[in-house]
Every structure is written in C-alpha cells, then in structure tokens.
Chains A and B, each alone.
Chain A
Amino acid sequence: MAEIHPIIGDLGKEKQTLSWENDTLIYQEGTFTQSWELDSLQELKVQHLVGSIMLLGKIDDTEIVLLRGSLGQAREYQVFAQTVNTEITGKTQESRWDQIDDRCPKCNRLYPDPARPVCPRCLDKRSLFKRVLALTPPYSKKIALMVFLMISSSLVGLIPPYLGGRIFYDEVLKQGGKYSDRLGLVVLLMFLAELLILLLNVGQGRVNAKVAAQIAFDLKTQVFTAMQRLSLKFYNHQQTGSLMTRVNNDANHLQFFFHDGLPYFIVNSLRLVGVTVILVAMDWQLALMVLIPVPIIVFGIVKIRPILWRFYTKRWRASSRLNSVVNDSLSGVRVVKAFGKEDLEIERFSQRNERVFRVNQEVGKLTSTVFPAMSYFMSIGSLVIWGFGGWRVVKGSLTFGTLMAFTGYLWMLYGPLEFMTRVVEWWSSSMNSAQRIFEIIDSPEVLWQPEEPVRLQKLKGSVEARDVTFGYEEGKPVLENVSFKVEPGEMIGLVGRSGAGKSTIINLISRLYDPTSGQILIDGVDAREIDQKDLRRQIGMVLQETFLFRGTVYDNIAYARPDASPEEVMEAAKIANAHDFIIELPDGYETILGERNINLSGGERQRIAIARAVLHNPQILILDEATASIDTETEALVQEALERLVEGRTTFAIAHRLSTLRQADRLFVLDKGKLVEVGTHEELLRQKGVYHMLFTTQRNALSLVGVAG
C-alpha cells in the first residue's frame, strides 16, 4: 500500500487533518473524528476556488467536502487524492506530475517561486562565485593584469596625502627640514604620483571594461543557447515576456559585478587596511581618536539607507506607472480617438503625474536633509583631528605635517566605509543573478529523452493516442482519456468549441509537450522514444499567424531546408500559389520581408507558410486555423494550395469555420477535453450530437450575416 502523508485543512482557527490508514479515510478536528471505509469511497477530487481549495469525495453516490485548505496546499491535496483514487480503483494511474518540493530542505522556508526550488537564504554563494569565476579562465591573464593594476593603484594612492602633509609641511616648509631646499623636487614627486595613479586607473578601467563585457557576452550567449534547447513547458512556467529582460538584467548585473563591484571591493579593502596602517604608524593615539566615530558612521549609514531606498522605490514606481499610462494611450491611440476619450486620458495622466510630482517633492526634501546631515557627521571626524591634533601640535608632541596628512587620509577612509556597508547586499544580489542565469543554463530539457532514441528516417505517418490525459497545470486536465488511431495519409479535422482541447492535441502530436498519462504513438512507436530531430523533421505546421522572420522571401521559404536550390524553392512556391505574387514583389524572391514598405496580406503570408511546409515535405502535417484570417477571394487560392499540400500526408486540421473541413476523411469532435464524436461530416450530422449542434449554430450565424455556410 502506498504511503500517504495526512493533509491539513488550514482555513479556520482550528486545524483539521485528513489521513489515510489501513484502507480507511480518517477526518479529525480537535477531538472529533469521522472515518470512511475503502468500500464506500468512489472518487476523490480537488477543486480550485478563488481563495482556497477543497477536496471533494464521492461517497455512496453523494459528494461531500472532505477538507478545505489554502492554495499553498494544492499539491499535497492532489497527491493525496491521486493516491487514494489508486487504492479505490486498484488501477495504478501513471502520473507524471513533477514532484517538486516547495520547501527548502535546509531551513524549511517556502521557496519564493514554487517552480524554482531555490532558497535564496541557503544559496551556496561561495560555490556560485567559484562558478562565476570559472567563466573567466579564457581571460585569466587579463584578470591577473587587472588585479595587479588595482593593487598598484591603491598602494600608490596612499602616497599623495603623505607627501602633501608630512613631507611638505615638516620637511619642506620647516626650516632645517630634510628637503627644505628642494621644494621643486617634492612638488614634482607629487605630480608624478598623481600621474601614476591616473595611468594605473585608466589602464585598470580599460582592461576591466573589456573583461566584464566579454563575460556578460559569454553568459548571454550561453543562456540564449540554453533557452533554445528548453521545451515549451519551461516557457509555460516562466513568463516568457519577462524572461529575456530578466536574463539581460541578470547578465548586466553580473557585468556590473565584474566591472565595478569586484574591483571596488579589492581597491577599497586595500585602502581601508592601508590607511589604517599608515595612521597607526604615524601616530596611534590620534589614529584611535579618528577611528572612534567609525562605528557610529557605519551604524548611521546602515540605518538611513533603507529609508532612502524606500523613497527611491516609491519614486520609481510612481514614474513607471506614469510611463505605463503614456504607453497605454499611445499604443491605443486609435481606440482613444474613436471613442473621443482624449479628456479621460489627460485626466488619467495628470493624476499619475501629480503623484510623481508629490513623490519627487518628498524625495527632494528628504535627500536635501539627509545628505548634508551625513556629511556634517562625517566632518565631525575631522573636527576631532583638528581639536585633539591641534592641541598636540601646540603642545609640541605632534608635527603640523602629520596633522595635515591625517586630515588627508581621513577622507580616504569614508568612501570605502560607505561601500563596505553595501558589500553584503551587493554580493548576495549578484550571486542571485548568477544563480538565475545558471538555472536556465542548467535546466534539463523537460521533455524526456531516451538513451537510445528510435531512429525513424522516413515516417509512414500513422498516429495513435492511447488513453491520453494532459494538463498544462497540475490538477487541471485539458484532455481526459483521449484515444484514437489515424492511418497514414488520412486527413482529420479537429472540431470543438474554443478551450475544448484541439490545440492541445496538436501540441502533443508534435511533441511540444508529453502527455501526463497515456501514450502518443507514431508509426506504432511511443513518441517519447523517437529521436526528436527525426520527429521534428517530419512534422510540419501551418498556423493561423504566420511568423515570417526578417530576411528574404527565399530565406523564409527555405527556413526548414536552408540548402534548398532556387528551383526547389520556386517549385514549392508554385505549389503554394505563391509564385505569382512573389514575382511581382520589387526584388522577387530576394525581397526582404519585415521591412516597412513590404506589406504582405494575410493570404500572402499564409501561402509563404504553405510553401515553407511544401519544401519541408513533412509526413505529418498540422493546419491550425490556416485559413482563418484570410478574405474570401484569396481563400480559394489558399484552399487550393492546402489541398495540394495535404495530398498523401497525415493531416490534422483545426478550423473554426466547419465548412473548410469538408475534405477531411474523418472529424474528431472534442468537448471539454474529451473526444465525444468521430466520423465523417455526414455521419456526424446524422448522429445529431455535438457536431450537429455546432454545425447548425454556425450555419445559422453565417447565413445571418450573409456568408455562405
């Protein structure tokens, strides 16, 4: 018997538990218990509500709520229901729900992103850092040079205050000083030191810029390569739109890490140590006085930064909301004008604009208070030096030059200090960026790949579904127990209301996804076992929205077979009824598409797509609303092209307009994820079932608007 963890109802103040022991379902709330024997149970089901979920049980033909819980429990509920159902039916349900833990095993914290088992707290930052560094070997010489330059520059940077303070006042200006007659030499030395620092900094910056940009470039390439390899399921989890932006941001973040972060860290640490050593060496008592305010300053910075940060975020949010209004009303300008809603848009704009104005004012007030206050507190440090040091100079126990050198070094202390308070935060966020990038690079191809895939050089084209169930999301099946068998060369029309599962069937056949349970067989072989390249090569698609890449007509048609000869491409275009209009384009087959002045109509784009498919010459063909966005006149041309294309290939066609599926050998009618009717157009009409209803509603609707059904 399968082991099941009890599940919890956590909506009320009191918790309830539901457990499964010895073939009995046991409900407990406080001291109250209720139980059901296996024999009385029929089925458990999880239902998602808006703010909660519930586990329903069918017991003795009545449905009851067994448990209600928060949405975070969805997976546990699902697993529980599935396991109990297995016990009820005695039939092991093959399940492929990804079993991901949603808690960090180390600290038991909930992962912030359930699809991403990464705990930001327990992230092994050190090994990540090593891996980031591992990206650098090709540039190790340059990096060594960079580090050398940085160290030199921080060391040389320590010289000027010493020269300008101690040497200048004590040895040059003072009578009887060591260099009292060599003012020129000392000034020259100071000049050289500054020049050297300048040169070192420039050199370091230049090397650095190159290396950092190179690393970011490498990372982006790696990520993009990885993204191409990933299955669609990955894109389902991640929001595709933000994905590339995120990757870009993360890569830039890492570039920043190499370009600014790392060098500053090295330079600043060296400076801090260097300055402290020099101060102590010159006069340890005075040094101690200088260092006393340091903790106070650090504390102040740590306290104030979150406040500032909060205001900056507020400002950022206000202005991005303002931008979104501008963006919205500009991209929707036709709607705005058509409805005459200019005033409303102006009103919306001014509201948000005013908010930006107010927040800006707040930020302005705050910063003009905080920053001067901060520098005031920092200057207290130099007051301490002037006071205590001055007193010692008067007393004669300290030279004036040392005092001047101290004030010089003091300011070299604060910059690095400020930076150091930020180091931890910056380090964590850089490593998090690195983590996210590596995550994409590392994420496995979600589609399972066999060790030794079955090679199918030439498909015959039979397609079979055996008891296929599939859902894009856990617990929400889109297809349920669908079975069918399609012979090579047969044309199948997929029919059903939107959301019935038509596109999903196509996604499964072309193996963009794998079924949750059940099998798809192609030529009698489980699609999962077939070499992906072989499969892709022999499945072709013509979709409603034809995506044309930027490039020539020729490139677009030859996309699947870039080595196709000009004749082959023309032949394909001819079959697709595309040759004639292509010839009339200014540069014929070499016209560049995607440029502003070349506007292809929907029908023309479609015929290019068909030509692409003809050249691709797939054994299995998928037509997804291929004629939906075309006017009636060109439709005949496209239809004719499609008929030629379909010839001899196993074809699955989705069409909203049922009349376009007349030539299909059989129609599959889907309703709410189930295959409900199969047959020819006439057979199905005679059955007077779902298809009959769909067909008559459509015919009536079309005749109403005067379109021939």
Chain B
Amino acid sequence: MTDLPRNQHIVASGLVAAVGAWVTYISYTQEPAAAFLFPRMISTVFVVLALWTFGKALLGKSQVGNGLSAQAMKNILPGLIVALIYIFWAAKGLGFYTASTITFFILLSLYDPAPHSEGRTWIKRIIITAGFLAVMYGLFAALLNVYTPREIFF
C-alpha cells in the first residue's frame, strides 16, 4: 500500500474511532442511566470495532477501499464547495428556486465537457437550466404544494 491511501485510511478510521470513543463516553457518563442502556451496548461494540479498524490502518493492513486520488479530489472540490454553499446557505438565504437555479447552472458549467469558449454551449446550458427550474417548480410548488423558503424573486 502506498503512503497516500495508507495515510487516508489512518485519518478515516481515526475519525470513526474518535466518534466511537465520544459516543461511548457520553453513553457511560450521561444520566439517567436507563435512557442510555441501549446506547451503551451499541457504543461498546462500536468502539471495539472502530479501534480494531484504526489499529489495522496504523499497521498498514487496511485492504478494503482505495481512498481518493489527488486528481479525484481536485475534480470533486469545486462541485462539493458549490453544493455545500447551496445547501447550508443559499437555499435559505436566496430562496430554494433561485439558489437551485444558480447552483444547477454553475455545476453544469463546471462539469460540462463542452468548450466554454463557444456561445452556443452557453445558450444550451441556459436552456437546460430553465428546463430544470420549470420541472422542479412544476413538481414541488404546483403538484406537491411544498412551501419552500422564498427570499429573492420566488
């Protein structure tokens, strides 16, 4: 195993072990004890398995899962940042439909293999985005009557 996946395995299993340890600590220290009886059982198994996995990762014996290559991380990062801004801020801040339209257009432009220099490509993207907005509005606002946060426009 090369250093990159090995280090990634250590970080991932370390984080899971840390969550397991926190869950176990809370389960055994919080009151009333009766409410934490079932969590105690689960957390004990959870922390044992998590430490086992962490130990294997430290010894370089984690054989399942290839981790993430540098190229994959580079590809994921822009889209993930846009998606997280959309979910944790824009959807409420700008309104669902406005934020979804902007996000859709940005993601489409970021990952569309068509060249950015051609005007026709941009027109195609705008048409696809408008189609997406129309379908989402039709489905959720008109058909299902879901009331979503509306800040700008609609």
Instruction: Say if A and B assemble together.
Output: no
Q: Report A's interface with B, CB cutoff 8 A.
A: none
